[in-house]
Amino acid sequence: MQRVSVDPAKCQGHARCLAFAPDVFDFDDEGYAFVPDDRAQFEELPNPVKLAVANCPERAISVSEVAE
């Protein structure tokens, strides 16, 4: 399983991630991205999430392997 998360210390709120994968990323009241727990884990990372990772100007999105 792969888990997607946004580092709040790096995110600058450009919203590119939201443009690529609106079903995964969400924004808090201050305009910074996060991934709700129930949308964060994938057997295989969907292409829109890969694009979001590749296009985040702050490299704030990370993908980690988690045990099933």
Burial class for 33, CB neighbours closer than 10 Å (0-12, 13-18, 19+): buried
Write out the two tokens for 33: 């991205």
Q: In whole angstroms, how close is the CB of 5 to ligand SF4 at the nearest point?
A: 10
| CA nearest neighbour of 60 among 21, 15, 30, 29 | 15
User: Quick one: which of 14, 36, 48, 64 contacts ligand SF4 (CB under 6 A)?
Assistant: 14
State the binding string over 23-52 for ligand SF4 (x if CB under 6 A, else -): ----------x-------------------
Q: What does the binding site for ligand SF4 look like in residue numbers (CB under 6 A)?
A: 6, 11-17, 33, 56, 58, 60-61
